[in-house]
Amino acid sequence: MEQRYATAPDQVPGMTTQDLRDRYLVPDLFVDDEIRTVYTHHDRVVLGGISPVSAPLTLPGYPEIRSERFFDHREAGIVNVGGPGTVTVDGTAHRLAHGACLYVGRGAADVVLASDDVSGSAAGEAGPARFYLFSAPAHTAYPTTLVEPGQGTVRELGDQVTSNRRTLNQYIHENGVRSCQVVMGVTTLHPGSMWNTMPAHTHDRRTECYLYFDLPTEARVVHLLGEPTETRHMVVADREAIISPSWSVHSGVGTAAYSFVWAMAGENQAFDDMDGFDVATMR
């Protein structure tokens, strides 16, 4: 489990491009037959990429979180950004199609993740599952719950005129699948729209992480970060994640349409608890 220590906004102006990427970009999450995890001290979030190919993978405990089993005092949302697969929680199997979300509550003992078809031969499906995990500490247990793609609370946002028309699916939130503090969903840009979260905002009470996916291999997202009056950018590829501290904007523009998993943890679960600002004030 890689560790990333918390950073302050006054550190950003002196960072090089590589410094920014080392602290806020999480590449190479999905490696065949591996579980890769990153622990950020921003709200003690754990990001994970689980890629079962030749055999199922069992989520272990880690000394960095001081637990014998991963969910001893944590909860998580898991979104499948690859081919179809199955997450089995304490003997109960949950099939996750591409884009589906599974909430796993505190106290789950055995969590096993598997791909349905690693060859990609199933009609309309492509290759092994790629499970993206977002986890935060939990004080109580809520039931494990599956949400099929597009079956959460749906919000239509933006406009084609401003190149930011997008469909937002809220999966884990205060009026949907219950959790202690994790809030999670998937946003998909409409064809011809490239901007996400613009006008931008910050969440002074929560850390938010993005995972960009369904981005063509040669395409990229130019992701904005930093304080609104001191922004920087990173060029991000498919299935790469971004750690966005509470003081940072999180917005991006792609060279092609894409989707992204957004997930938050922190002081509250109010989706609209955000601090917006006019684009004209950004620097």
- How far, CA to CA in Å, does 243 sit from each of 1, 55, 264? 16, 30, 10
Residues 116 and 129: beta-carbon distance below 8 Å: yes
pLDDT of residue 87: 98
Q: Provide the annotated binding site for Zn(2+).
A: 201, 203, 208, 250
pLDDT of residue 281: 83
Residues 34 and 54: beta-carbon distance below 8 Å: no
What residues of the chain score a pLDDT lower than 70?
Answer: 120-125, 158, 162-163, 197-199, 201, 203-204, 267-271, 273
pLDDT of residue 177: 93
Q: Please tell me whether the overall predicted TM-score, pTM, comes out greater than 0.85 for this model.
A: yes
Q: Provide the annotated binding site.
A: 201, 203, 208, 250
| pLDDT per position as a tens digit, 166-205 | 888 899 988 889 999 999 999 998 888 888 866 676 766 7
- How far, CA to CA in Å, does 256 sit from each of 92, 98, 163, 231, 235? 38, 19, 12, 22, 13
pLDDT of residue 271: 67
Q: What letter represents residue 94's amino acid?
A: H
CA distance 171 to 80: 13
Tell how strand 166-172 and strand 183-189 pair up. antiparallel
Q: Does domain 9-281 have CATH number 3.40.50.720?
A: no
pLDDT of residue 122: 46
Structure tokens at 264: 């938050």
